[in-house]
Amino acid sequence: MKKSHKGKHRKSKSKVNGHIILLAAILVLAATAIIKLIIWNIGTKSDYDPDNIAEGYDVEALDTIIPLSESKLEGHVDDGVTTILCLGNNPLTDETGSNGFISLLSSKTGAVVYNGGFPESTIGAKYAVYSESYPKDNFNLPYVAQSICSKDFSRLESAAMAEQDKIYQESVETLKNIDYGKLDMIAIIYDGRDYLECIPSDNPNDPHELSTYTGGLRTAIENIQNTYPYIRIVVMSHTFAQSIDANGNYQNGGSTDLGNGALPHYLLKEIDVAISCGVSIIDNFYGTINEDNYHDYMSDYIHLNDAGREAMAARLAEFVNTGRTSAR
């Protein structure tokens, strides 16, 4: 029997439809691949702004713990009593009673803790070369370290006598009478005063310039290391702080550049010096009192309240007791 022409036509039409569907599928896949390739080559616009200082997000504390080399302890006799000298400014001197930093640190560690702080002092000196016309420079870190290492406290003592606040004289007497052979640790504890005083962060041409933040810190640390190599040094960084503009408005220290960088810039410079000198640093700007919680820990734009001193003391105490740190 002959096959009908109608059946042949139906089968032919079915084959044509199948070819069209297959071709369409191939074209769709090819178009999709081409579009994806074009998008990949062009890329998508990023939200990242390298000039933006991000705020309001969690940042890991930049603590760096460096152990004291055993070689530095050769010939040194440990008396079995942990003894700590704190050098710094207002975190140490605003409150000197039971709620003060020194008392809190002592109670949390069982250590003998001495207060060598001077109010409103800074890490960087006022002048690169000492000037007799500005005796207050003696209270700033590089000159305090110089007095400690030379054991000549005459200039420091004379400057303290001119101050009405007795804490200056008390700190000088403390520094004069310490048995440095029994010291185990020196903690350097300053707030953001250098930032507020517009002390330059550094001098790229002179890493030891005393009138810069990093130069003052580096010089002080190296002088102490050379004179008392067995003393472990730890730097407690500044916390969050604010500046006050000409109109009396508070400005965020985390993002406001007063001419030498904002507080994060000072922090990174401080960390660089600590690491290069081989000493530990505890980051209080991100790890203790920051932009998110400062209302709970500060009495104003820069000074700590009782809770702030407690938080700072707890951070250092953890380091003293365990040799490590953890952010709050």
pLDDT greater than 60 at residue 216? yes
- Provide the whole-model pTM: 0.83
Residue pLDDT, tens place only, 141-173: 999 999 999 999 999 999 999 999 999 999 999
Residue pLDDT, tens place only, 262-293: 999 999 999 999 999 999 999 999 999 999 99
DSSP 229: T
Query: In what helix (H) or strand (E) does residue 243 lie, and over which residues does it extend?
Result: strand 242-244
Cβ atoms of residues 57 and 283 within 8 Å: no
pLDDT of residue 56: 44
pLDDT of residue 17: 59
Across 67-82, average pLDDT: 94
Q: Which residue(s) pair with 298 in the sheet?
A: 304
Determine the Cα angle at 274 with ends 268 and 280, to 5°. 110
CATH 3.40.640.10 fits 78-322, yes or no: no
Residue pLDDT, tens place only, 93-123: 999 999 999 999 999 999 999 999 999 999 9
Residue pLDDT, tens place only, 21-74: 666 666 656 555 555 444 444 433 333 333 343 444 456 899 999 999 999 999
Three-state DSSP state, 194? helix
pLDDT of residue 60: 85
How far, CA to CA in Å, does 126 sit from each of 122, 136, 186, 227?
9, 9, 23, 24
**Domains of the chain, residue spans:** 78-322
What b-and-e string marks burial along 124-160, b requiring 16 or more CB atoms within 10 Å of the CB? bbbebebeeeebbbbbbbbbbbbbbbeeebebbbebb
